[in-house]
Amino acid sequence: MNAKQLLAELSAEFDKLRPQVIMPAEGFIKHDYLIPAGFYKQMWDWDGFFIGCHLASRSRDEAKYLKLWVLNFVGAIDREGYVAGCITPQGPRPLFGKFAMKPFLCQGAYFASQRLGDFPWVVPVYEGLKKVVAYREKTQADPKYGLFFWDNAMQSGAENNAALTNDPNIRISCP
């Protein structure tokens, strides 16, 4: 089999699987949402971001899913600016204390707006986006080095990395 045939076969299989990553709005999640596999009910932060970016790259119409991803996460921002990295139909899912969403929310809003050719939808959620950025700057920025860090291993996406922990009592500091 040559590379063109293999690509065609893989693309056909992906076309069959693609609808399984889109779930209808349910409960706390007010808009259709993106999941990493057909059996999940949870909406995860960077899984949804990357799926939404893929869909947006395919067509302008499919960019709506990236916009909906943003709107669902903005709907889960608390008064401090914290937003969980996982949202379920029952609400934000607490994992290892405050498992904050990765810093993709503003990028998702920008990429969706750019692909849709529609920026005004961001105006009503702009203050929420600013709160999320301020929360990350307050809780996950090292003032000494000016760099950001992950709060816990789960947030990093490398939860099996022995150098990271989910124990909030253990803080690893730079020299």
Q: What is the mean pLDDT of the chain?
A: 87
pLDDT in tens, 79-109: 999 999 999 999 998 766 677 888 889 999 9
Distance of alpha carbon 143 from alpha carbon 70, whole angstroms: 29
67 or 166, higher pLDDT: 67
- Phi, psi values for residue 29, rounded to 5°: -85, 105
The pLDDT value recorded for residue 97 is: 66
How much of the chain exceeds pLDDT 70, in percent?
A: 84
The domain limits of the chain are 16-143
Q: What is the pTM of this model?
A: 0.84
Distance of alpha carbon 129 from alpha carbon 71, whole angstroms: 10
The pLDDT value recorded for residue 14 is: 83
The pLDDT value recorded for residue 140 is: 86
Q: Token pair of 162, please?
A: 């022995």
Q: Which of 41-50, 121-130, 166-175 has the highest mean pLDDT?
A: 121-130
Instruction: Evaluate whether 87 touches 73 at the Cβ level (below 8 Å).
Output: yes
